Amino acid sequence: MRKTPKNKVMRKTVVGITVVGKDREGIVAAFTNFAFSKGGNIEKVNQNVVKGLFGMYLEVSFSKSINVNSFDSEIQKLAKKEKMDVSTHHETNSQKNIAVFVTKEPLCLETILKNVKSLKGKLSVIVGTERTLEVIAKKAKIPFVAIEEKNQQKAEDQLIEICKKYNVDLIALARYMRILTPNFVWRYPNRIINIHPSLLPAFPGALAYAQAFERGTKIVGVTSHYVTENLDQGPIIFQDSFKVDPNDTLEKIKSKGQKLEADTLLKAMKMHLENKLEVRWRKVHIKSK
């Protein structure tokens, strides 16, 4: 029986490349030409510029096997030359590493931990904006890191280092109450899942339950979606809802909603980790078996 050489990936290989740094001419060509020189075919490309910050995501496929270590090493040399921060994501990773970002609401985190064995991945780290949920992480024997830095850029610099340290593939925002900037979001395209307490696009932003209660909505729902640089406007993964009784108080609606949030976030994570989701033209499609 023929063995596969070490560090060789069987066809077809798909590599996701993210490039983030100061905007200037020639960056797109530098990395697309690199991909072509390695025999790659560019299947997806997305680029953005916000306030002088450049971000690009390339998805490159290879019909022949490639040496993963060599590819990563060479693209890092190019990154250093071009003064850009570059990371690669290989679909061949057998073990997906998950990071859960939290603030102080416990239910989403508790639901993930309760069902962690059903996820096709490893919960590698829990990151909090404060230490409220640290005790839950310790009980589950999961590393917990608190980033209490108030300056968003400095806080995200720490987040980036943590995600690199744990080789994070998927980030779940389990009622994480800080808005991530493009500098972070662009590094994990379609790999950050958020849960929002309304049926988007209705009631985006904070206080969604209060807005729904004040408007007298008859159905209240929650939405799991991929995170983009635009708040609460990323591709929708899954939605669910419940009927509102006329006698329900705002607190009753919140209680029902928080339980549904946790279940909906968990379902979205499962679908992502089982490679059932594909984003095309800003819409999430369920892959056929």
Could you list the mean pLDDT of each consecutive 10-residue stretch along the chain, which spans 289 residues? 47 86 94 93 90 93 86 95 92 79 96 95 96 96 95 95 95 94 93 86 70 77 90 87 84 86 95 89 80
**Tokens for 189?**
């395209």
Using alpha carbons, list the distances in angstroms from residue 205 to 36, 183, 202, 243: 41, 20, 10, 22
- Quote the pLDDT of residue 201: 66
| H-helix segments, the chain | 27-37, 68-82, 107-114, 134-139, 152-165, 182-185, 208-215, 250-273
Q: Work out whether the CA dihedral 97, 17, 165, 263 comes out positive or negative.
A: negative
Smallest CA-to-CA distance from 84 within 61, 60, 56 is with 56
Using CA atoms of 255, 110, 189, 238 in order, give the dihedral in degrees to the nearest 10: -40
- Quote the pLDDT of residue 205: 67
- Quote the pLDDT of residue 248: 81
Smallest CA-to-CA distance from 103 within 141, 140, 146, 135 is with 146
Structural domains for the chain: 13-90 (3.30.70.260), 97-286 (3.40.50.170)
8 Å CB contact between 246 and 255: no
Alpha-carbon span 273 to 289, nearest angstrom = 15
Q: Which helix (H) or strand (E) holds 50?
A: strand 41-50
Query: Each residue of 275-288: b (16+ CB within 10 Å) or e?
Result: eebebeeeebeeee
Task: Give the active site residues.
Answer: 232
Alpha-carbon span 188 to 17, nearest angstrom = 10
Which residues have C-beta within 8 Å of that of residue 153, sequence separation ≥ 6? Answer: 181, 183
Going through 108-251 in order, the beta strands assigned E by DSSP cover 122-128, 144-146, 170-173, 192-196, 219-226, 236-243
Is 47 strand, coil or helix? strand
- Quote the pLDDT of residue 2: 45
Smallest CA-to-CA distance from 217 within 243, 194, 237, 235 is with 243
Alpha-carbon span 110 to 136, nearest angstrom = 8
Which residues have C-beta within 8 Å of that of residue 234, sequence separation ≥ 6? Answer: 194, 225, 226, 227, 228
